[in-house]
Structure formats: C-alpha cells, structure tokens
Amino acid sequence: MTPGQQKRALKRARIEWSEQVEDPRDNRGRRHAHHGMLALMAAAFACGRTVLRRMEEFSEDLGASARRMLGVPKKVADTTLYRLLCQQKPGGLRETVTAMVKKFIASKAIQNDLFLVGVMSFDGKSVWTSTRKRVDGARVSHGGPQGTVSALSAMHAVLTSSMARPCVDQEMMAAKQGEAPAFRKMFPRVCEAFGNYFRIVTGDAGLLCRANARQIVEQGKYYLLGLKGNQEKLHTLAKRAFNLSPGGLRVRTEERRNGTTVVRELHTLSVHDAPVVDFEGAEQLWRVTQVTHPDVGEPTTEVRYFLSSVPHGLLTPTQQLQLVRLHWGIENNLHWTMDVMLEEDDRQPCQANLDAIEVSCWLRLIGYNLLAVWRAKAPLKDRLPLSWARTMELLRDAFVGAGLVVYTPTLS
C-alpha cells in the first residue's frame, strides 16, 4: 500500500461524532477519550476485528498516525470497551452516520456511478438472535428445532445506485413491528437527509402496501416494489394478466455466471385499465422471468412480479431490468457483508441489554461504510472490485502501518 492510499484511508476514517452521543461514564477515572473508544470499535469492525479481545489487540497494533486520528493514545482493554457498551445509549449515532455519508458524498467518494437516476433500496434483516439470552424488546418465538429464540431485526436504507452501496439509515424493529410500519417511520427521515440523491425507491414484497405507496408518491419519488402472495388479489391479477396477454418483450439478456447461462426477460403491462390496482401512482406491472441453464442438468425457471410507479419514458427497457437487479445490492453487499465478513449473526461484543445490542449495530454499520467506501475506491483486480477479505486486510494495514516507527536494535 502506498503512503497516499494510507493517508486517504485514515482521512475517510475520521468520524465526526454527533453532539448527541453522550458519554455515559462517571466524571472520575476516565482513562480513555469517549469518542476515541467508539471510533476504535468502528474501525476494528471495518478491519474484521469483531470480538472485544481482537479489538484490544487492534488498539495495541495501531500506528502513530492512526492513534492520533482515532483519538486512542494507548491500548484499550477489552473489559473497558465492554463496560462502555453496557452503558452507552444509541442517541446521536444515527446523526453520526448521516453526517458520515454526507461527507463521503461531498468528497465524491459516494456517487450514483451505477445508475444515474439515484436509487434507494429498503430491506429488513435480523441483527441479533440468541437461544440463551433474553432482552426486553426482542421478539421471542417458541418451538421449532432451536427451541425458544430471541431476535432483533432492523430496516436498512442503502443507496444501491452507488458502487459503494452505503447504508444511510437503520430503524430497529420492535417485537411486534413489521417491515412496512418501520419503513413508514424511517422513509421521511431518509428523504429529509438524502432526498436530493435518489428518485426511485425499491423494496421487497414486505413493503408493498397502499400506505407505503402513498408516502413514496407524496415525497415526490417513484417506486418499484416486489409483488407476492401477501397482496393476494393483486398477485393473482398479475399472474392472470401476463398469462392472457404477456405484452411485448421489453428486453432480453443472457450472461454466463458460475458455470451456468442465465437468461432474463422483462415484460410490462399498464395498470390504467385495472381498477383493482388502487395503489397511489401505480403505472405498470412488471414480470421478470429468469431461466438458469446449467452446463449439466435441467434448467430452472424463476418468475417475479413487481408493481411500478416509474413513468413511461423515464427509463429504457435495459435500465428497467437493471433497476430490478440493482435492488439486490442491499442483499449482496450490506446484508451479506454484515453477516459473513463482519459476523453480525455470530459475534455480538455485548448483549447486556437492548441498547448495547443497538449501539453495536450502529458501530458495525459505521465500520461497514468505511470498508465499503474504501473498497469502491480501491484499484480493481482483473476488472473487478477487490474481495471483501482483501479489502479488510488492506484497511488494517493502513491503520497499523501509517506513521509506524520501526525500532531497529543496535548490536553491542
């Protein structure tokens, strides 16, 4: 890694914490700066150090420049980090993420470089599960192969039209709250902070309801929402309509992927003559048929339906199909990376209470954004982005190597 790359990595990792992020510790006996410890944990998450003991080792390995930037002059013990997480409130962390993403946008580290018409995708995921620990506010399910399971979920908003695919906001979902109500709570907030950067909203079938469609249209945005059996009448109408009159083929693509040939076709139908489609702003029904032809074996077919308010002429047929695939950026980037690389499913540094789990989610999310922006701006390897594992290695090298003074013993 060049010194310039190290410098850019440290510059992007300079986190401006909101004034609402309060220090919960007593005034006496504070050995480490409050924001320094929070920044340390976020940076450690970005480098794949998801256990408090590994975070302690990471703090010991930091180079001099990284120490100054993070505000960590010396090693921080894992027990110290644990005590802070037990007491820390999540207030102000959302504002910190908002300011962080806006800074990346201002510096052009985040751009709509995958899709010029900005796209914000929403989806929910589990952020914590346990068969042994109970916390107030978590959803509890009984029975099943694992017995009693406690779980917490969150709704995420990701700018999928950007190569970095940053997460701009999250909303923790209460025990009895679904994705649709969580979306209505966070969507106005996302529009207020980032409304100038996107025009289209995408979501899975769990978000498709009249209230959500109305809210999106009232904010001056267009939507493309998945359609499944949760909207039984509309789903049946779509299947019947396409079976009777599939409409003209809008676009067909073919690609090779992992030893298979994948063929996709897009058909669209207007809903202006279908009174049962009484969703605000609804323009079209889309059907995407995907046929996967393996080199050996029988082909498989998957058919998906969507309800769209995107006006005629705004997107070409190729862009329409690209928009459908673009939504998967939230699953393939944010959710996969959080689960597999940042070990959200398996590693929780503190489960003392609901606030501790939520604070850990926010710090992990800040770490993901650091990692995602660094990866988006790193040199390509064989015309593809670096692997997440390799990106984490390089980012750790930047933190450890920047400003590092090498001690060379003299022989007597």
Q: Which residue, chain included where needed, has tokens 């390897």?
A: 381
Contact between 126 and 198 under an 8 Å Cβ cutoff? The reply is: no
Distance CA 323, CA 202 (A): 8
pLDDT at 63: 87
- Residue 127 CA from chain centroid, whole number: 12
pLDDT at 140: 83
| DSSP string covering 220-256 | T-EEEEEE-TTSHHHHHHHHHHHHH----EEEEEEEE
Distance CA 209, CA 225 (A): 9
Which residues of the chain are modeled with pLDDT < 70?
Answer: 1, 143, 273, 402-412
Q: What is the pTM of this model?
A: 0.92
Distance CA 111, CA 95 (A): 20
Residue 292, both tokens: 């996967």
Contact between 363 and 92 under an 8 Å Cβ cutoff? The reply is: no
Beta strands per DSSP E along 174-299: 200-203, 222-227, 249-257, 260-270, 284-294
